[in-house]
Each structure stands twice: as structure tokens, then as C-alpha cells.
Homo-oligomer: A and B are copies of this chain.
């Protein structure tokens, strides 16, 4: 099993199924990947997955990776990560490393303050190769 999060108990059936699929995956899944994994559980339409994903992302239990059009479960055990989150995505094995960096966050805040830009959401995704994949190359 990729992760062993304690899944919140107040999720609806579909939300629970979708989060379960993400938690059991080593790498990001597209909405259609998730749908395929959950057909056995009765899901039939993309919208069922997208709706669940919307809620999960809204609650910070999952994240959307814009550069992949795919989703991952939040790596934070207690799902309380605040502020800017960055993702390092390995092109070799597909693994994603989620991290926060307060220096970067502060720096961005500084830029935004100077420009009068009101930040609502930030996407930060690094593509490359993880240590294992570099070694294997």
C-alpha cells in the first residue's frame, strides 16, 4: 500500500472511494484512471469522480497536479498543510514528493505585495528525475 492515511469518516461514499483509490496509488491518477479503478464499485460516469475530487481538493485531502491533469492524495498525515505547497514530479517513476517552503512562500508574498496582486492560489510543480531514477539512468 502506498499510503496508510486514516481516512476521515465523514466522507460520502464516492468521496471515500476516490480518496481510497488515490491513497492506494504510487503515482498520480487522472480522473479517468480513477473511474476505471472504481467501476467495480459501481461508478460509471466521469462526473461522479470529478465531483468527489472537487470536494477532496477543497478540503485539502487531495491535490490537483496541473501539469499532469492528474490528482494525488495529500501526503500530509493530518491534512493540515497550510500555505503554498510544491510538488516534485519524477518523469521516470511517476512518484510525487509534496513539500512546503516558507522562504518561497514569503518571497512570493513579497512580490505580490509590491505589485498589489491578491494571491488566491499557487501552483508550483517541478518536473525532473528523482534520485533513484537518476542513479538508474
> Which residue numbers of A lie inside 8 Å of B, CB to CB?
66-67, 86, 88, 90-91, 97, 99, 101, 103-104, 107-108, 111-112, 115-131, 134
Contacts and interface: CB of A to CB of B under 8 A. Distances in A.
21 contacts: A66-B67, A66-B123, A86-B111, A88-B115, A97-B117, A101-B111, A103-B103, A103-B107, A107-B107, A112-B126, A116-B130, A116-B131, A117-B126, A118-B129, A118-B134, A119-B126, A119-B128, A120-B128, A122-B125, A122-B127, A123-B126
Contact of A123 (B108, B111, B123): B123
Given A115-B130, A121-B126, A124-B124, 20 more contacts: A66-B66, A66-B123, A66-B125, A97-B115, A97-B117, A103-B103, A103-B107, A108-B126, A116-B130, A116-B131, A116-B134, A117-B126, A119-B126, A119-B127, A119-B128, A120-B129, A121-B127, A122-B127, A123-B123, A123-B127
**Copies of this subunit:** 2
A107 to B, nearest CB: 5
Nearest to A130: B117
Contacts of A134: 116-118
